A and B are shown apart, each in its own frame.
Chain A
């Protein structure tokens, strides 16, 4: 019970932060809802600036320091080195925030487990890729970090103390080891790129890039920072000196400070326990899988709209198995299904105007069928004559007094037309905040369907002024306003 209350409180904070940033950033460009894509952009910027640095930087032990100082003295060198470093720092920040936010929203179980685990694997890769980059400058900070990392590794019993000997005297470091560092600084990000590809695998319509309205100003601000506050090498590395104070990059060096404050072994235990806990999260807490959508072959014409709209790639099209004159049929992959109902909202069979036979959709949620939805709509129309009909998604927390649906995009557009013909003053679809759909794409598909840009589209004959899309999460104010507007509009029309 306590855990549930804490979870609810964290989700409220999450929504409050998102709502606060909504007041600053344009619609659809709220950074709080693009943490993953911002991290990806910064990763790519690191790779691009890194390619330039690799071309001009002397990656030998003897030449690295002077090469870094030479970069510091040139405009382009300062800009690219600064962008490389600050993008790496921002990358670490956005990666951490992305992980925390997804954890807070419970996005680590069932159909999300793969994305979660592949994302968790990226975290140590990000750190290794970052910290080895600092070593390449081979200044006091680099030597400190390399030695501190080696001392941290020396806590293990398997002769890892040998690694620390590389940094003990000026003569013990050689070009061969430096080549290994270069290889790690390039190889680990390549491995991270492969892990990122895996991270995207069980999602469809992935938006890897943030909107330009967000990415361009972010990169501009980091470029200005690179010039206004240039990254500079410290003094030349000297194995026989241990500076009392160092200007360290806290985004990557914090494990060194923690190991010194506690002990290398304690840090290993803490990190190991933390990593194991993150990896175990998909299997702790409520174990119940969402009930998967069910395909009804008799009502499926193989149009593939459900497969196109499924946010998690849980619907695939396979060759027809019943001999009917359609080449394909939909097939649900139960392990990937989020039970959001978006597929049901996309199905052309899900029209409430069918009266001769029972309303059965080609694809449907067993626990909340399109037929159930029509029954609820009929009941609401009978109970609230002349009032607006509200469909509200349950994740947004506004279902009280409304027809609750798993996602706004579960409502087929034909239901809007049906409600208006049934005497409703208007129809409101309320859901999660824009760009923040619990099921990833519900707001986007709903908008596109209602704007006639996506099938099944809301018919042109439906008066648009009688339809409101309210994607404001748990903020009930806009929903009330939309409801009042529709009631006033209806009253004016009656007069």
Chain B
């Protein structure tokens, strides 16, 4: 490799390295405005059954094959989960999520990232998980949400319903 060749190639390699080095960390990505915060609603919840179980009568049991004669008939499908998130009294998110699974008998899963103005807010979340659509679970928090901070809203029925974390 002669000097001319080195003089020609060196800038080419330097330019390539500079290209790789620059775009490996720049330009800075602004994925959230400086005065915004984030609310993450995330839960997985099995709603109530869409229909109540009922006790089979003797006639009904007689019609079934002997190995299928279970006294209770429980339709597997679960109700939709309706969830709402309010900020300072205004609804900022509302969704109806179907139960998952081929027979709609598994939990409904909700994940949503919401960008909100930073500051002092009252967040309220409520959830309906029954066939009537009545909101039977409710939770509220008053929070100072600094810019760039995250409020996580979870729902765990066995631990009392909505849980807020910031």
Contact = CB atoms under 8 A, between A and B. Distances in A.
Interface string B139-164: 00000000111101010000000000
A34 B39 CA distance: 48
Nearest to A224: B17
A1 interface: no
A86 B12 contact: no
A229 B24 CA distance: 10
Nearest to A257: B29
B31 A244 contact: yes
Contacts of B12: 21, 24-25
B64 interface: no
A151 B40 CA distance: 11
Nearest to B166: A240
A224 B16 CA distance: 12
Interface stretch (B86-94, B109-117, B120-128): B109-117
Contacts of A277: none
A162 B24 contact: no
B5 A26 contact: yes
A240 B165 contact: yes
B3 interface: no
Contacts of A217: 9, 13
Interface in A206-236: 213, 217-218, 220-222, 224-225, 228-229, 231
Interface in A73-94: 85-86, 89-90, 93
Interface string B1-12: 100010011001
B17 A222 contact: yes
B42 A242 contact: no
A251 B23 contact: yes
B165 A86 contact: no
Contacts of A243: 32, 148
Contact of A244 (B14, B33, B154, B165): B33
A161 B111 contact: yes
A320 to B, nearest CB: 50
Interface in A1-59: 21, 23-26
Contacts of B113: 147, 151
Nearest to B18: A225
Name the residue in A89, A151, A225, A228 with the highest tally of chain B Cβ atoms < 10 Å from its Cβ.
A225
Given A24-B8, A218-B13, A221-B13, A244 B20 contact: no
B154 A162 contact: no
B38 interface: yes
> How big is chain B's contact interface, by range?
35 or more
B157 to A, nearest CB: 15
A169 B152 contact: yes
B25 interface: yes
Nearest to A23: B8
B17 A89 contact: no
Nearest to B34: A244
A462 interface: no
A144 B166 contact: no
Contact of B20 (A161, A169, A220, A222): A222
A231 B100 CA distance: 43
Contacts of B16: 90, 218, 221
Interface string A228-266: 110100000001111111111111010011001000000
Contacts of A220: 13
Contacts of A241: 148-150
A480 interface: no
Given A86-B21, A89-B20, A165-B42, A253 B29 contact: yes
A164 interface: yes
Contact of B154 (A25, A169, A242): A169
Interface in A251-286: 251, 253, 256-257, 260
Contacts of B100: 158-159
B113 to A, nearest CB: 6
A245 B30 CA distance: 4
B20 A86 contact: yes
A168 interface: yes
Given A221-B17, A240-B150, A240-B152, A161 B109 contact: yes
Contacts of B165: 169, 240
A123 interface: no
Contacts of A164: 42, 111
B24 to A, nearest CB: 5
A191 B165 CA distance: 40
A249 B8 CA distance: 29
B37 interface: yes
A246 B29 contact: yes
A151 B112 CA distance: 8
Contacts of B68: none
Nearest to A87: B20
Nearest to A29: B9
A154 interface: yes
A241 B28 CA distance: 17
B23 A89 contact: yes
B23 A213 contact: no
A154 B5 contact: no
Interface of A: 21, 23-26, 85-86, 89-90, 93, 144, 147, 150-151, 154, 158-159, 161-162, 164-165, 168-169, 213, 217-218, 220-222, 224-225, 228-229, 231, 239-251, 253, 256-257, 260
Given A169-B165, A242-B32, A244-B32, 18 more contacts: A86-B21, A161-B111, A168-B42, A169-B152, A220-B13, A221-B13, A221-B16, A240-B150, A240-B152, A242-B31, A243-B32, A244-B31, A244-B147, A245-B29, A246-B31, A247-B29, A249-B23, A249-B25
9 contacts: A159-B109, A161-B110, A165-B43, A218-B13, A225-B17, A240-B165, A245-B29, A250-B23, A257-B31
Identify the 6 closest CB pairs spanning chains A and B, nearest first.
A161-B111, A221-B13, A247-B25, A225-B17, A164-B111, A221-B17
